[in-house]
Amino acid sequence: MKKILITGVAGFIGYHLHNKLIRKGHSVIGVDNFDHPCGAPIQCVKGDILNRSLMDELIAGCDIVYHLAAQIHVDRSYVERQLTFDVNVEGTKIILELCTKHNSKVVFPSSVEVYGTSQEESMSEEHRIHPQNPYAESKWEAEKLCAHFSGRYGTNVSVLRNFNTYGPFQNNGQYGSVIPIFVRRISDGLPPIITGDGKQTRDFMYIDDTLKGYELMTLYDTCDPVNIGTGTDVSINELARKILSIMNSDLSLEYTDPRPNEIMKIRGNISKAKKLGFYPTTTLRDGLKKYISWYDKIHQINQRTND
């Protein structure tokens, strides 16, 4: 049994990771400032990773720290650039300093966004780094901090580059993610709205597979980044049509202006992760069915509660 701290535990991935680790018998502490919670019920310490004294107290005695706390939304990073860098860069620096002090293992989820638009058929870890938005820039700066602490102080830190994860309790509001937003709109009888021409592609991974990658990184002893994705991509147009089909909807797609500096192609090369034992097993269609089934149940419960 390990003593584990999860920062950002009230977020979508943090919530699911917390529950899985508890089921496996670990002693898990969670901390979150509830700036952007996923809405799932969870008990944790309410606090901010920028509060050094609090984090010092929480990290002391921990074997592993999953550092998930971050400002994760690209659109918000343009509006609140300073907040994004304060949380994602300065917050990571504090976590690394304290984990070095207490000799705790750090698992740091970076993002596929650091690559920018793919210049190859699929993105390996050797793909060029070309952040195209403030969020991606902040994650790249945080990665460099991880490498610095690993090289200079021997901090035991592993970096994974997370591709697009989806699943139950993912946010579907203003700063939500595309799959939950599409499902919510279609469920409400509204068409999915697509930015740009919809030809941009993403590598979508169901939450169960993502968690396999996170746990695997605790066994990885170097700071060299590892891609955690599926190795396949789908256009946003095709994604929307798949969801419409599963939900038996005949709504049409609607389009709006493209985002600034939109990344047009994301597809992971996960050969390195496979060598470490990572094999995603949930197909996109099966994952979408699971998510839509969950959403329908929650939506019905909420309707009965409101009635």
> Quick count: other Cβ atoms within 10 Å of Cβ 28?
22
Within a 13 Å sphere around the CA of 177, how many CA atoms are in the beta-carbon half?
A: 22
> Quick count: other Cβ atoms within 10 Å of Cβ 68?
26
Three-point CA angle 227, 263, 259, nearest 5°: 140
Which contacts qualify for 125-132: CB closer than 8 Å, 24 or more apart? 125/161, 125/224, 125/225, 125/226, 125/227, 125/269, 125/272, 127/269, 132/261, 132/262, 132/263
Write down the catalytic residue from 135, 206, 291, 295. Answer: 135
Pairing of strands 201-202, 234-235: antiparallel
Q: Which helix (H) or strand (E) holds 178?
A: helix 178-187
- Both tokens assigned to 259: 């985002």
Active site residue 135: yes
Positions marked active-site: 135
